Chain A
Amino acid sequence: GQSLEQPSEVTAVEGAIVQINCTYQTSGFYGLSWYQQHDGGAPTFLSYNGLDGLEETGRFSSFLSRSDSYGYLLLQELQMKDSASYFCAGVMDTGRRALTFGSGTRLQVQP
Chain B
Amino acid sequence: NAGVTQTPKFRILKIGQSMTLQCTQDMNHNYMYWYRQDPGMGLKLIYYSVGAGITDKGEVPNGYNVSRSTTEDFPLRLELAAPSQTSVYFCASRVPGQGDNSPLHFGNGTRLTVT
Contacts and interface: CB of A to CB of B under 8 A. Distances in A.
Interface of A: 30-31, 33, 35, 41-45, 48, 50, 87, 89-91, 96-104, 106
A33 B100 contact: yes
Contacts of A48: 100-101, 103
Given A87-B43, A100-B45, A101-B42, A45 B103 contact: yes
A30 B100 contact: yes
Contacts, number: 64
Interface in B87-103: 90, 96, 98-101, 103
B31 interface: yes
A33 B103 contact: yes
Given A42-B108, A43-B90, A44-B106, A31 B48 contact: no
A53 B104 CA distance: 22
A99 B100 contact: yes
B78 interface: no
Given A48-B101, A98-B58, A104 B31 contact: no
Contacts of B99: 30-31, 50, 91
A43 B43 contact: yes
B74 interface: no
B26 interface: no
A103 B42 contact: yes
B2 interface: no
Contact of B48 (A33, A45, A90, A98): A98
Nearest to A30: B99
